[in-house]
A and B are shown apart, each in its own frame.
Chain A
Amino acid sequence: DIQMTQSPSTLSASVGDRVTITCRASQSVSSWLAWYQQKPGKPPKLLIYKASTLESGVPSRFSGSGSGTEFTLTVSSLQPDDFATYYCQQYDSSPTFGRGTIVEIK
């Protein structure tokens, strides 16, 4: 299985901050990578697929980049609704997820 490593595991930030989360794959997944946001007690929500394509309805402050083994999710200006846990997922082979990054209020 392809292992996905996210960093950091926890990120403390303030409203208005630019934040970046990194996801590394144990082998190349080309651009077959997605990002999800999950809030407590809720299912995950798809934000980005194919590494950089924004899902319909997702605010443009979210962006994704990367290919191969290294990917990033960036929130250009953090909003109160963005405090949540974020997961990356590869789908080049049997899907695997990163362990998640908790974005908390500083």
Chain B
Amino acid sequence: EVQLVESGGGLVQPGGSLRLSCAASGFTFGSYAMNWVRQAPGKGLEWVSAISGSGGSTYYADSVKGRFTISRDNSKNTIYVQMNTLRAEDTAIYYCAKCRYGTDSFDIWGQGTMVTVSS
């Protein structure tokens, strides 16, 4: 079964850091670009970051550029996002999502992990 499982969310103070993980199973992980997409409480979807299958290319939304770093370990079938200098507006459910082959639509999503930035 194709599956993505996120972990690492929690409560963090403004200015703090957090690292999220997403463990994948059921597909040839290194062949696919992967993404982080977030959803603030009661709001819509916002793409955050993407990483190519090899890990050699990374992409970021302007809202997180310079603060978030995406990475992957293909030997562990896992992607990560290191989130630094967190702000209240980063509070959201963070979803890991797999790119559909040959497109940047997202065909597989994890259940999400909640990040709350508050003092």
Q: Interface of B with A (CB < 8 Å)?
A: 35, 44-47, 50, 59, 61-62, 95, 97, 100, 103-107, 109-112
Partner of B45, one of A1, A49, A94, A97: A97
Cβ-defined contact, B47 with A46, below 8 A: no
Contacts of B95 in A (CB 8 A): 43-44
Contacts of A1 in B (CB 8 A): 62
Q: For chain A, which range describes its interface: under 10, 10 to 19, 20 to 34, or 35 or more residues?
A: 20 to 34
A44 and B61 form a contact (CB under 8 A) = no
Q: How far is the CA of A9 from the CA of B109 in the complex (A)?
A: 24
Distance of A34 from chain B, by nearest CB (Å):
4
Nearest-neighbor residue (CB-CB) of A99 within chain B: B44
Our pick among B45, B46, B104, B110 for the contact of A91 (Cβ within 8 Å) is B104
Q: A46-B105, A89-B106 are in contact. List 5 more A-B contacts (CB 8 A).
A: A1-B62, A46-B106, A46-B107, A55-B107, A89-B45
Whether A91 contacts B59 in the complex (CB less than 8 A), given A43-B95, A99-B44, A100-B44, comes out as: no
Distance of A96 from chain B, by nearest CB (Å): 7
Count of A-B contacts judged by CB separation below 8 Å? 58
Query: A57-106: which residues lie under 8 A (CB-CB) from chain B?
Result: 87, 89, 91, 94-100
The proximity string for A residues 1-45 relative to B, scoring 1 for CB distances below 8 Å and 0 otherwise, is 100000000000000000000000000000010101010001111
Report B-chain residues with C-beta under 8 Å of the C-beta of A91. Answer: 103-105
How far does the alpha carbon of A92 sit from the alpha carbon of B44 in the complex, in Å? Answer: 19
Some 17 contacts from A to B, beta carbons below 8 A apart, are A32-B103, A36-B106, A43-B95, A44-B106, A46-B100, A46-B107, A49-B103, A49-B105, A50-B105, A87-B44, A87-B45, A89-B105, A94-B59, A95-B104, A97-B44, A100-B44, A100-B45
